[in-house]
Amino acid sequence: MIDPAAVRARHADGPFLRACRGLPHDTVPVWFMRQAGRALAEYRAIRADHSFEEVVHTPELAAEVTLQPVRRYGVDASILFSDIVTPVQALGMGVTIKPGVGPVVEQPIRTPADLDRLRPLEPELDVPFVLDTVSILVNELRVPLIGFAGAPFTVASYLVEGGPSRSYTRTKALMFGDEPTWHRLMEKLAGITIASLRSQVARGASAVQLFDSWAGALNPIDYERYVLPHSRRVMDELADLGVPRIHFGVNTGELLGLMASAGADVVGVDWRTPLDVGRARIPEGVGFQGNLEPAVCLGPFEHVEERARDVLRRAGGRVDHVFNLGHGVLPPTDPSILERLVELVHREGEVASPVAARPEDGRSPAGQGSAADG
């Protein structure tokens, strides 16, 4: 049997977890969202014989794909290879991943009666393949594993729209037009998210990231009313696990303070907001992650160097900074660029002294609750 506390203790002194906790360390940690995937030839070789769902549903394949960027890039953390809609897909919501499109829902949620199709998640029964992947990984990884899930709003947007959207008109129509049904949907999705993340941590994940990818479609007033209570519930019900909780969304520069108030230990800043500006919007005692623009990595390394150094400069050597892209790795990215980027961050990233804990709640900078986690 896997001892999750022992797994996390192995990684407690590494730079990623220490940065998430605002503790002293020597090297700026770096990992990349979507670091596993189409930028890697070894991933494409697997996908030549297997669909995306087949990879996710086969623990040995999903583990191998998760391990590939760790071997190639030398990153300080790994993130589970899966998808934010995997839990609701497992619940029989008619979700498929359409190549070149993304998640598509056969029968979208549009009425109060549609919510009856959305039952609670039982991870051991519904997504055992995800948990088996985590178990394989924590035995093989030399760096911490980040578990993840989609935040209630982002998953709701797929279920209501029926697929990806630019305007989120159906989602907002439900929010504004039938608030009780909206909150009932969000409550159900929050429960699914909590169950998914807790099960990943129980198998040995050392941190979790909550992807509210499309929350940037909302203004702060609507985010606070319709989304924040449910994201806060997710964060609150993970607090006893003692692992860092990262909160990330795209185009959320105006929401960073609210996202932190949900209970995040680290808030991701996307590339549209200068990192020092984003840092100023995040309270002390909460770390920050980001935020090189992914498209920069499509150009020559000389330009990547310049922009990466600017990110490091804007981070100010803070002990609670995790270097990342401002969103996911783009498929055309040359892996050698990312290899060199990791080397640059490790070589030139300077870490200063720790920041203070937030006095109002008395917790440490990353809310650690487990002695095994340092």
Catalytic residue, from 8, 73, 126, 158: name it: 158
Torsion angle defined by CA atoms of residues 349, 352, 356 and 358, in that order, rounded to the nearest 10 degrees: -20
Q: Which DSSP state fits 164?
A: -
**47 is a catalytic site residue:** yes
Catalytic residue, from 83, 114, 222, 310: name it: 83
**CA–CA separation, 130 vs 123, rounded Å?**
8
**83 is a catalytic site residue:** yes
Catalytic residue, from 38, 170, 184, 340: name it: 38
Torsion angle defined by CA atoms of residues 266, 267, 272 and 275, in that order, rounded to the nearest 10 degrees: -40
**43 is a catalytic site residue:** no
DSSP string, 261-311: HTT-SEEE--TTS-HHHHHHHSPTTSEEE--B-GGGGGS-HHHHHHHHHHH
**158 is a catalytic site residue:** yes
Catalytic residue, from 8, 21, 34, 233: name it: 34
**240 is a catalytic site residue:** no
Would you state the structure tokens that stand for residue 279, as one six-digit string? 């840092």
Q: Which DSSP state fits 371?
A: G
**CA–CA separation, 220 vs 278, rounded Å?**
15
CA distances from 82 to 97, 139, 212 (A): 11, 18, 15
| Nearest one of 278, 265, 159, 162 to 216, comparing CA atoms | 278
Give me the active site residues, please: 34, 38, 47, 83, 158
